[in-house]
Amino acid sequence: MRVLVVDDEEVIRDVLGTLLTREGYEVTAAASASEATSLFESDPYDVVLLDLMLPDKPGLEVLREIRQRDPDAVVVIVTAYSSIEGAIEAMRQGAFHYIPKPFQNEEVLLTLRKGSEARRLTEENRRLREELSQRFGLGRIVGKSNGMRKVFELVRLAGPSRSTILVEGESGTGKELVARAIHTHSPRSHMPFVTVNSGSMPTDLLESNLFGHVRGAFTGAVANKKGLFEVADGGSIFFDEIGTISLETQAKLLRVIQEKEFMRVGSVDTQKVDTRIIAATNVDLKKMVAEGRFRDDLFYRLCVITIAIPPLRERREDIPLLAEHFIKLYASENSKPIGGLEPEAFRALLDHDWPGNVRELENSLERAVVLCPAGGKVGLDLLPETVLQPEKGELPVRLPENGATYKQMVEEYERRLIRTALRRTGGVQKRAAELLKIKPTTLHEIIKRLEIRE
């Protein structure tokens, strides 16, 4: 730890310098405020021992300048008994502690140890926050396709706002990761992010979890309990699969969005709350609104900003990036060097339809890494059977839930067939045409018509 001693008395500087150097601290001394600020600006220190009575400037001003440059700096005030009030004022302005003169050596060392520990904890907390940001920020959402670039751009633009956001996407596409990225890119990032798994709870239990309850509200309510909205106050609350919430709960949720208030179960008192709502769905909420299963007013409140995550089968160019990301991730977690993918395994990943989307790909590669010998490559034998062999009766092209025209489905099948042939031949159209038993010119015309760019 680097310590800066600021005192106009030479004997104090010498005593503290000798004491702290002997204890292993790296000590620099300054006799005036101007010298201290100049030293701190050129090379910040971990701990500052600061005298309040300096010849050229009050110590309180030096304290403010130091904390302005480094808000985490640990400043310990060293002062005479006659200026204890000034020391207390310094602590109000952010000083860590004060030591009265004349001081005891053990008191100085104990205070510095505590200050050093406080500095270490502050830096560790910052590092953990940065790791959390990297884990749940855009760095964890991998993709270079046009569809994912739109997602990234919307997250960056919508994150700092206060608007409610609806994240649409099939199961396994990473809706919660996107929600966490939105929270991370907002001014609320230092506040709680709370997830509500609404599809797994009956209505009564869900409302109790969301809004809390008062003692005696129902059998078993033996004490007052905070709800998730109160826990997430100042932060964000994420509703996973919001389409599963009952109409009754939808009405109460609408009130929270509109009025920023709610009532605990069994209470008549309102609770104010400032919580940003991010919702996700894997079903068509517009269709549910038309069928009377979802409130239209809530739907329009939720989809102020809509972020649609494309399924993995529609962004196959992201599969190589995702595969590399997951192999590195699980190789690191298992302390096992992995040499990547065998060409046959790589082609199998590209050819698979991924009905479980990114989650299915991640699980498949986690399994492969665990089973792969250290230093080896992931081969076909390490991939799950579901990746190598489609389920019986499964169509080569998956029919969307909302349906599609016959022409669209035929074109999609053609597109997949040609992409598969091109991958197997390394992108050589002449060899791909031979595989498909058509002329190269015919293949080239089809590629142009279907706008196949790989």
CA dist list (Å): 71 to 59, 236, 353, 422: 16, 27, 52, 58
Distances (CA, A) of 290 to 57, 88, 168: 72, 65, 18
Backbone angles phi, psi at 195, to 5 degrees: -105, 135
What is the structure's pLDDT at 101?
A: 83
Where do we find the tokens 């990225």?
181
DSSP-assigned letters across all residues of 12-46? HHHHHHHHHHHTT-EEEEESSHHHHHHHHHHS--S
Question: Checking DSSP bridges between strand 276-281 and strand 236-240, what pairing results, if any?
Answer: parallel
Task: Work out the average pLDDT over 279-294.
Answer: 93
- Domains of the chain (ranges; CATH) run 2-131 (3.40.50.2300), 137-308 (3.40.50.300), 312-388 (1.10.8.60), 406-450 (1.10.10.60)
User: What pLDDT is attached to residue 109?
Assistant: 92
**pLDDT tens digit sequence for 355-382:** 899 999 999 999 999 999 988 999 989 9
For residue 375, the model assigns a pLDDT of 87
Rounded CA-CA distance 365/382 in Å is 9
- Please classify residue 291 by burial: count the beta carbons closer than 10 Å to its beta carbon, then call 0-12 exposed, 13-18 middle and 19+ buried: exposed
The Cα 134–Cα 128 span in angstroms is 10
The confidence score (pLDDT) of residue 391 equals 46
Residue 311 CA to residue 319 CA, distance in Å, equals 11
Task: Give tens-digit pLDDT for 409-428.
Answer: 888 888 888 887 887 777 78
User: Which one, of 181, 143, 152, 130, lies nearest residue 324 by Cα?
Assistant: 143
Of how many residues is the chain composed? 454
Predicted confidence (pLDDT) per residue in 309-338, tens digit:
999 988 888 999 899 989 988 998 888 889
Give the pair of three-digit tokens for residue 406.
């016959």
pLDDT at 117: 86
**What are the C-alpha distances in Å from 2 to residues 20, 324, 408?**
10, 42, 68
Q: Please say if the pLDDT value at position 91 is more than 50.
A: yes
Q: Return the H-helix or E-strand segment holding 74.
A: strand 74-80
Maximal C-alpha separation, the chain: 98
What pLDDT shows up at residue 330?
92
- Predicted confidence at residue 406, as pLDDT, reads 85
**Long-range contacts at 149-153 (CB < 8 A, ≥ 24 apart):** 151/178, 151/307, 151/308, 151/309
Q: What is the pLDDT of residues 145-192, one digit of tens each?
A: 889 999 999 999 999 999 999 999 999 999 999 999 999 999 999 899
Instruction: Indicate if the pLDDT at residue 56 is higher than 70.
Output: yes
Beta-strand pair 261-263/270-272: antiparallel
Checking if the pLDDT of 135 tops 70, the result is: no
Q: For residues 358 and 38, give the distance between their C-alpha atoms in angstroms, rounded to a whole number.
A: 53
Query: Which pLDDT score is estimated for 110?
Result: 92
Q: pLDDT value at position 129?
A: 61
Contact 312, 361 (CB under 8 A): yes
Over 60: is that where the pLDDT of 222 sits? yes
Reply yes or no on whether the pLDDT at 49 is more than 90. yes
Instruction: Decide: residue 33, CB within 10 A, 0-12 exposed, 13-18 middle, 19+ buried.
Output: buried
3-state helix vs strand vs coil in the chain, percent to 5: 55, 15, 35
Confidence of residue 451 (pLDDT cuts 50, 70, 90): confident
The CA-to-CA distance between both ends of the chain, in Å, stands at 55
For 157-256, strand residue ranges (E) read 165-168, 193-197, 236-240
SS3 304: coil
Please state, rounded to an integer, the average pLDDT across all residues of the chain: 86
Interior CA angle at 284 toward 280 and 285, to 5°?
70
Answer for the pair 296, 289: CB distance below 8 angstroms, yes or no: yes
The residue-averaged pLDDT of 55-76 equals: 87
Whether the ω angle into residue 102 lies within 30 degrees of 0, i.e. cis, is yes
pLDDT the model gives residue 344:
87
The confidence band for 73, taking pLDDT boundaries of 50, 70 and 90, is confident
Whether 99 and 91 have beta carbons less than 8 Å apart is answered as: no
Q: Are 270 and 156 in contact (CB under 8 A)?
A: no
Identify any residues that bridge with 77 across adjacent strands, giving them in sequence order: 50, 98
Tokens of 326: 């997951």
As a whole number of angstroms, the distance between CA 330 and CA 370 comes to 8
If pLDDT is split at 50, 70 and 90, which confidence band does 394 have? very low
Q: Which residue has the tokens 């940003």?
A: 276
Q: Within a 13 Å sphere around the CA of 267, how many CA atoms are in the beta-carbon half?
A: 21
